[in-house]
Structure 1
Amino acid sequence: MSSPRSESIADLQRLRRGRPRRGWLTRSFRLQVMLLVGVLLAGMLLAQGAYLNHRKGEIVSQQMGERALAVALSVASIPELIAAFDDPDPSATIQPIAERIRRETGARYVVVGNTDSLRYSHPLPERLGKRMVGGDNDRALLHGESYVSEATGSLGEAMRGKTPVFDAEGNIIGIVSVGFMLDRVAMDVTEHTSLGWWLVALMIVLGFAGAYLLSRHLKKVILGLEPYEIARLAMEKEAILQSIHEGILAVNREGQITLVNQQARRFLGLPPAERVLGQPIQQVVPNSRLSEVLERGERQFDQEMWLGDHPVVVNRVPILDGGEIEGAVSTFRSRREIVDLSNALSAASRDVDMLRAQAHEYSNKLYTISGMLQLDRIDDALALIHQENARQQEQMSFLMQHVADPVISGTLLGKMTRARELCVALEIDEHSSLSSPLTVTGQEVMMTVIGNLLDNACHAAQQRGNDGQVRLFFTDLGEQLLIEVEDNGPGVAAEHVEAIFDEGFSTKPGKHRGLGLALVSRLCREHGGAITLEESELGGACFTAVLDRSLCRTSQPVEAGSPLS
């Protein structure tokens, strides 16, 4: 059986196959990544290689110039060469020395001249005695400096080291010029930098190969989708999240909100999303149970609760990645329509039950009156009719005077009729009162609490036979709503007291039991109250439910004695 993840991946792949075609460059994310990374890496390598090789060329050129100058300084310090300046024919001594040094050092030429720049040595003998070419001898002959220069001599453009020749008294008597041709220097530079360029080229090739592998990996990670497809899916997802009728709230492993849609903000009364995202869930929604999901990793489904006046069903599930909890998601599904339908069905069911009970009760009374009339007991029949009418009027009058909410009045009237059908005496304490009408939520909660408690009490009191008795007290005086229901049944065993409010626990036989008291207990907790169990003065059990008075409307209380709508 395929997993949901594999099905979603298959859907994305089908979407990819069915996407519209675009230009070869814009539609291929892999090609874009490869070109972008490759070109960027190639540009960086070329720039770095050019700089390094340029610096290397400068260093080679500088070393060649320093080499030429070192040779010139060595030649200028030879004693034989210095002494030859006083000979009638200096070239006879200087030429052999200069040529030997030229061949040993690899220089293009070693030229020695006098203070008039007339040559005493030259690689070409026919140029002996002629003036040196280049015009760069003044610094040596006039100022006695040793330096490196680039100039065009008789043999071509060269890098030359020049230094003066001093006699024993320190006077300048001549000049030595050692030259390396610039084309030779350029060849040396090329030879030394070619390896660097080959390495740069190799790194560029490897860079493009790495860019290709990276693009393949990224393409695999994003399930083969193109950027515009991912952007479209993101916009569609956002549109779906904001348009659905379910509220969605997600947190990360630190409990910070990462996603909240419009419906969730409406349910929870939250500010705009940009003010909520990144905030701890406990600060934004103090009663949230998502922290329990993050701690335990347990899933919570179909949890019913009220958000303000809105009933919702909540699901909470952890986000797992490799068995690790990475976050949690909570969804809120409105129960308003279901609740409205349930209320309508409950009201119809109550009406049916009440009518059925009344029909059963009044059919017995009609049979009794018919028998009395047949026995010619007219006065007794009239007395029975007056007695029944007085009781009904008394019940209606009490409810009209003490209960301001018509829905609760109808519920109590139905329960009283149902109790008579079960042969249980249901008594409403004369000090009971509900002076303010309830909100829609208040009506739902009060009907549930009173209905379940009276049903359980009547069931318990029914075990006493015709002596069954149930007493109801309620009031909205003070800051809370108080409902107290007691009976003269067998009560609750001591070993069951702790579990009586647990969902699924029941002392009654049969399936689908143990829901009523659990529901009442949860509603009391959710609405600022609680429910307690103690022994009744009637001998059975006494349940006391406390609810927050916010379930009552804030409008002016209804005057006592106002008619039921």
Structure 2
Amino acid sequence: MPSRRDDAITEVRRLRRQRGRRHWLMRSFRLQVMLLVGVLLAGMLLAQGAYLNHRQADLIAEQMGERALAVAKSVAVIPPLIDAFDAPDPAATIQPIAERIRRETGARYVVVGNTQGLRYSHPLPERLGLPMVGGDNARALEQGESYVSEATGSLGEAVRGKTPVRDAEGNIIGIVSVGFMLERVETDASRLTSVGWWLVAAMIVLGFAGAYVLSHHLKRVILGLEPHEIARLAMEKEAILQSIHEGILAVNREGEITLLNLQARRFLGLPEDRLVLGSPIQEVVPNSRLLEVLESGEQQFDQQMWLGDHPVVVNRVPVRHAGEIEGAVATFRSRREIVELSNALNAASRDVDILRAQAHEFSNKLYTISGLLQLGRIEDALALIHQESERAQAQMSFLMGHVADPVVSGTLLGKLTRARELGVTLEIDDQSSLAERLTPTGQEVVMTVMGNLIDNACHAALQGEPGDHGTPRVRLFFTDLGEQLLIEVEDNGPGVASEHIDAIFQEGFSTKPGKHRGIGLALVSRLCRQHGGEITLEESELGGACFIVVLDRSLCVSGEQVAH
């Protein structure tokens, strides 16, 4: 015997199956489309069929009435029938005529009566001479009208055509009534309308078949996805588009905006409540160049442009369907973030270079001291140790006394070590000073500016021919006295050729061989412009180039406080 627990489990499974079937019915796109289209088409066909069949039944009844009236008018003008009204026994003449016409026309009855409504003809001879039944003779006998009526006579309910009988002078002498039974009218109407109902049924079957084919086609067009899956994908796509860090802008083939995510709105400075979908791209982003992509169909990658007040790197690609261009999409990445990432990588690289240079330098010194100790020249080893200690101490003392910012001090100390390793004499002017500490932004800017200029100066100093200006030398001067930060870096290298003066600050231009050059001076120039300064080139007193950088004093902590 099954336990109560087994019964409960069975019931739960049954309910789950029922719920699953209902769930499937609710979620199946093909079934929904087929039922919706099929039921809608069936309802329309049934309503139309009911109206047309009802109208057809009315027409049949109307035609029967017109037919009865036409037969009655034909009988009323038969001369022998008219003359028979003056005979002693009118029924003897009228009855045969009326019965013959009844049989020929298929009418249920052809009744002829006098002005008192007494019958001179009737399908049942025993009813001759009796009054006509129905009470609808007045219009014909009194007003002389010919008409169609429905009434219940001695043979039952019928559609009757009635018309008066007139003598040669036009006087009303009798009435003719021709009737078709309503049962026959309904039978004929049912026989004819049944064809219509069969046609409606056939159309409904074809409608459901067409709905099935349509649902199958739609299912294939939407890649076999169900409506809830499409809705989920649409929501996921919208969430992805709005959450990614890149700006996305899409247009259709007419150049109207169809997609603009939140990051693109931020780049353009557009409020979230401003409606731009459907607007021409030229009105919102005149320099998007998406119209060029629509016309040419060519892809554009890693193009630089300004979007609002943001420098961005943009990719533009056409959207194609069946070989035709249906639109274009542009994605934007902030160049500022790329530059910041590059600066961070450069800073890490500089730190590695500094550590490597220091390790190399101290390794050489240790080898020298080790050699002197092995030779037993202890005094010389101690003298070298004191010499290096005094030099390092002097550099540290100078930097600690003249540079308040520890980050800049560390950068300069590393550059001094790197220059010695390269064989370049890096001199820091005794009048140099940085009395104020820098903001985090100021530290990054000053490190980038000094680092790039010193590296370029060392490279230029090494390019000079030996003996032109002595040993390779680089001189650095910096100060924050006054209203601005001032940095000067000069060398005794060959200088900058006159034909290159206008191009050295352009990104990608470099006189050095190799790839990925032409970044340092362009980056320094851009940082100067962004922070209220500039960079200029002069001839150095050492014989080479002298770069002078001016920066806004707001990069200092006290300057930032003043700015606020």
Normalised to the residue count of structure 2, the TM-score between the two structures is 0.71
Residues 510-564 of structure 1 show CA distances to partners (whole Å, capped at 9, x for unaligned) of 5654443455567678x489988866355655667788x69848974479xxxxx
Q: Distance in 2 between matches of 1:283 and 1:479?
A: 42
Aligned to 1:58: 58
Aligned twin of 1:125: 125
- Contact 2:553-2:560 within 8 A present in 1 as well: no
> Per-residue deviation at 1:150?
0.9
1:39-50 correspondence runs (5 A): 39-50=39-50
Does the Cα contact within 8 Å between 1:246 and 1:264 map onto a contact in 2?
A: no
Matches within 5 A, 1:309-388: 319-323=319-323, 324=325, 326-328=327-329, 330=331, 342=345, 345-346=348-349, 348-349=351-352, 351-352=354-355, 355=358
Structure 2 CA distance, aligned partners of 1:528 and 1:102? 116
Q: Does structure 2 conserve the Cα–Cα contact (< 8 Å) formed by 1:487 and 1:536?
A: no
2:494 to 474, 490, 493: 490
Identity of aligned residues (%): 62
CA distance in 2, matches of 1:163, 1:140: 6
1:212 is aligned to 212
Aligned-partner residue type, residue 348 of structure 1: D
Are residues 64 and 523 of structure 1, via their aligned partners in 2, closer, same or farther at CA, if it must alter by over 3 Å? farther
Quote how far apart the aligned CAs of 1:159 are. Answer: 0.6
Deviation at 1:468, TM superposition (A): 4.2
Q: Is the 8 A contact 1:257 1:281 kept in 2?
A: no
| Contact 1:424–1:461, Cα closer than 8 Å, also in 2 | no
Partner of 1:159: helix, strand, or coil?
strand
Matches within 5 A, 1:158-557: 158-237=158-237, 246-247=245-246, 249-253=248-252, 254=255, 256=257, 258=259, 260=261, 271-272=271-272, 297-298=298-299, 300=301, 319-323=319-323, 324=325, 326-328=327-329, 330=331, 342=345, 345-346=348-349, 348-349=351-352, 351-352=354-355, 355=358, 397-400=401-404, 407-408=407-408, 410-412=410-412, 414-415=414-415, 418-419=418-419, 422-425=423-426, 437-440=438-441, 443-464=443-464, 465=466, 466-468=470-472, 470=474, 487-492=491-496, 506-510=510-514, 513-517=517-521, 519-520=523-524, 527=530, 536=539, 540-541=544-545, 552=555, 556-557=559-560
- Provide TM-score, normalisation by structure 1: 0.71
Is the contact made by 1:462 and 1:489 (CA closer than 8 Å) also made in structure 2? Answer: yes
- The letter for the 1-side match of 2:250 is V
Cross-structure match for 1:8: none
- Secondary structure at the residue paired with 1:142? helix
How far did residue 327 of structure 1 move? 3.1
2:82 counterpart residue number: 82
The answer as to whether partners of 1:251 and 1:329 remain within 8 angstroms in 2 is yes
Distance 1:169 1:550 in 2: 131
- Distance in 2 between the 1:524 and 1:322 partners? 50
- Matched residues in 1 for 2:175 and 2:448: separation? 120
Q: Take 1:290 and 1:93, find their aligned partners in 2: how far apart are those partners?
A: 101
In 2: Cα distance, 1:287 partner to 1:438 partner: 35
One-letter code of the match for 1:99?
Answer: E
- Kindly state the Cα deviation for residue 51 of structure 1 after the two structures are TM-superposed: 1.2
Deviates more, 1:485-494 or 1:202-211: 485-494
Change (3 A) 1:485 1:275: farther
Task: Provide the residue aligned with 1:9 in structure 2.
Answer: none
User: Which secondary structure state, in structure 2, belongs to the residue aligned with residue 111 of structure 1?
Assistant: strand
- Higher RCO (CA-CA < 8 Å; seq separation 6+): 1
Q: Secondary structure at the match of 1:134?
A: coil
Contact 1:351–1:414 at 8 Å: present in 2 too? yes
One-letter amino acid of the counterpart of residue 143, structure 1: Q
CA distance in 1, matches of 2:202, 2:548: 86
Aligned-pair distance for 1:212? 0.9
On the 8 A contact 2:354/2:415 being kept in 1, the answer is: no
Give the deviation of 1:445 after TM superposition: 4.6
2: CA distance between counterparts of 1:84 and 1:555? 138
SS of the residue 1:258 aligns to: strand
Confirm or deny: 8 A CA contact 2:65 2:159 kept in the other structure: yes
Q: Secondary structure at the match of 2:218?
A: helix
Tell me the alpha carbon deviations over residues 113-169 of structure 1, each in whole angstroms, 9 at most, x when there is no partner. 111111122233332222111121122223333221111222222111112223444
Structural RMSD (CA): 5.3
Tell me which residue corresponds to 2:155: 155
- 1:68 corresponds to: 68
For the residue of structure 2 that corresponds to 1:158, the secondary structure is strand
Deviations 1:191-239 (A, max 9, x none): 4434433332232222111111111112222332333333444455555
Question: 1:51 and 1:483, CA in 2 relative to 1: closer, same or farther beyond 3 A?
Answer: farther
**2:165 partner SS:** strand
* CA deviation string 1:451-501 (max 9, x = no partner): 223312221122234354556677999999887755443345567678756
* Deviation of the 1:30 alpha carbon: 1.6
Separation of aligned partners in 2, 1:354 and 1:439: 26
Q: Distance in 2 between matches of 1:362 and 1:284?
A: 65
Q: CA deviation at 1:299?
A: 5.0
